[in-house]
A and B are shown apart, each in its own frame.
Chain A
Amino acid sequence: MFHGLYAAYAATSLSEAVRVSRWIFAVFEMVHLTGLAVLGGAVLIASARLAGWPLGGLDRGAVWRGLRWVALGGLLAVIGSGVVMVGVNPLKYYFNPSFNVKLWLLLAGVALGLAVDRLVRRENVPPIVWRGAGLALSGLFLAVGLAGRAIGLL
């Protein structure tokens, strides 16, 4: 479905620049890993609080509000640098199963994050829903990291 999009990206000057440069991919790989660390740390702590871990007596909403901009910053760094990195060989990524799994897991993680963002404004949410959301969110982003590592191996 997206084959044409990847093929068009491969024909851009950005993709060519990433291919011929020794350093563009490396620099954006560093940004990608830094963004992943920031995103992962924020998601882990926010998920743990959702699942019931106390954090200085703060309620879930306060922790979520205190971390969502950090998580968003990490997410934008991951996506922005990832788009550039794909430029090194877009069609290779298009056909890589781990890359596709990573994208869908990331999409699911973002969708769940948006759902939790609405949920924390509600009252009387059953504890099991919080626990489920916390575990699912941390599990999804851990899976994103694992799928990302698998891209180079498959």
Chain B
Amino acid sequence: MGLIEVLAQWLYDTDWATAIRESEVVFPAIETVHVLALALMVGTIALVDLRLLGAALREAPAAEVERRIVPVTWAGFAVMAVSGFLLFASEAAKIIHNPAFIIKFAAMVLAGLNVALFHWRAKPLLLAVPVGGPVPVPAQVAAAVSLGLWLVVIAAGRAVAYF
């Protein structure tokens, strides 16, 4: 048994993870919070991505849209991460072998790397653009990659139940 399996089994066996798993109320309640937080997070980051791609909020400067909406996205991410961890812990020993979960997790890691790349390379270019100027290509690429990866996260997340 590898380290990941040992950690997953330990999480799965904790009292609180067992309580979540065995409750008829707590698991669905956390799942509801998780889905709503996912919708908040993906819905708001999708708006930023669509603005960078020129498909939404075209009358607003792209940098301003990013500056105002991304904090809401982070709030959604925080709730999604905490609720997701609780759901993961309650099924940890089983779910780590679920191919849909592995794809979801990999897509989230890639989305995180994409955010880091955006802040490192594309955002300085975006901030240098005068109001009304075109969105730099690296920012558009990051937006398209972000949209694609979050679609994968949603699709794989739903598919977890089918494997």
Binding site for B on A (CB under 8 A): 22-23, 26, 29-30, 33-34, 36-42, 44-45, 54-58, 62-63, 65-67, 69-70, 74, 142, 145-146, 149, 153
**With A55-B60, A66-B57, A67-B56: A37-B65 Cβ-Cβ less than 8 Å:** no
Tell me which of B1-9, B40-48, B110-118 binds A. Answer: B40-48
Chain A residues positioned under 8 Å from B158 (CB to CB): 26, 29-30, 33
A70 CB contact (under 8 Å) in B28, B38, B56: B56
| Docked pose: A43 CA to B119 CA in angstroms | 27
Closest CB of chain B to A40's CB: distance in Å?
A: 4
Chain A residues positioned under 8 Å from B145 (CB to CB): none
Closest CB of chain A to B163's CB: distance in Å?
A: 10
A41 touches B47 (CB 8 A): yes
A37 touches B57 (CB 8 A): no
| Docked pose: A145 CA to B72 CA in angstroms | 18
Chain B residues positioned under 8 Å from A36 (CB to CB): 39
B154 touches A37 (CB 8 A): yes
A39 touches B68 (CB 8 A): no
B59 interfacial contact with A, CB 8 Å:
yes
Chain B residues positioned under 8 Å from A38 (CB to CB): 42-43, 46
B102 interfacial contact with A, CB 8 Å:
no
B68 touches A56 (CB 8 A): yes
A44 touches B72 (CB 8 A): yes
User: Digit string of B152-163 for contact with A (CB within 8 Å is 1, else 0)?
Assistant: 001101110010
**With A45-B47, A56-B68, A58-B60: A30-B39 Cβ-Cβ less than 8 Å:** no
Chain B residues positioned under 8 Å from A62 (CB to CB): 59-60
A33 touches B50 (CB 8 A): no
| Docked pose: A22 CA to B163 CA in angstroms | 11
Chain B residues positioned under 8 Å from A146 (CB to CB): 32, 36
Closest CB of chain A to B103's CB: distance in Å?
A: 12
Chain B residues positioned under 8 Å from A69 (CB to CB): 56
| Docked pose: A113 CA to B155 CA in angstroms | 28
**With A30-B155, A145-B39: A65-B68 Cβ-Cβ less than 8 Å:** no
Chain A residues positioned under 8 Å from B57 (CB to CB): 58, 63, 66-67
| Docked pose: A45 CA to B38 CA in angstroms | 15
Query: Known pairs A34-B151, A42-B56. 14 more at Cβ < 8 A?
Result: A26-B162, A33-B154, A34-B42, A34-B154, A37-B39, A41-B39, A41-B40, A44-B43, A45-B69, A55-B68, A58-B59, A63-B60, A66-B58, A149-B31
Closest CB of chain A to B133's CB: distance in Å?
A: 15
Chain A residues positioned under 8 Å from B125 (CB to CB): none
B129 interfacial contact with A, CB 8 Å:
no
A66 touches B56 (CB 8 A): yes
A33 touches B59 (CB 8 A): no
**What are some 5 contacts across the A-B interface (CB < 8 A)?**
A26-B159, A33-B157, A56-B68, A63-B57, A145-B35
